[in-house]
Amino acid sequence: MENFKTAKIYLEEEKNALIVTITRSYIPMNEFKEIFNKAYEFIPLYSIKKLIFDKRKLMVFHQPSMEWYFVEWKEKAFNMGLNIIRKVLPDDKIFKQSVKIGWSKIANEHPNAKFHQMNIAYVHSIEQALND
């Protein structure tokens, strides 16, 4: 549907879901924002309720990108009707620990952010995310 240097965006109309699949080990923040800003266009157009974020190819965790994604992107996406997020993480214990620490920091600093109202879960595959 949409291709970037570091990601692809797919629409799964039957499941009312948007899939963002990362295709490289690192995403510069400006491109990360470009990818997710493009995703905004599909949410109202297709009444998207679920985002599946496939991060399995990522090897580098970037806290500023994660903070923008949680605090700004999810806020706007929630207001557009998106309320379910499924994430597929790489099979890397250090990456997973970095995500956990980063999320905890963001959650503590933004206790009233809309992402707290979203149904967010980690899954093992896109198939699981689509059926969850």
Tokens of 94: 């250090």
Rounded CA gap, 104 and 101, in Å?
5
Whole-angstrom CA distances from 116 to 24, 54, 126 are 29, 20, 23
| Residue pLDDT tens, the chain, 132 long | 889 999 999 999 999 999 999 999 999 999 999 999 999 999 999 999 999 999 999 998 889 999 999 999 999 999 999 999 999 999 999 999 999 999 999 999 999 999 999 999 999 999 999 998
First to last CA, the chain: 23
CATH code: domain 2-131 is: 3.30.750.24
3-state class (DSSP) for residue 7: strand
Tokens of 65: 């990108």
The residue extents of the domains of the chain are 2-131
pTM: predicted TM-score of the whole model, two decimal places: 0.94
Rounded CA gap, 31 and 15, in Å?
27
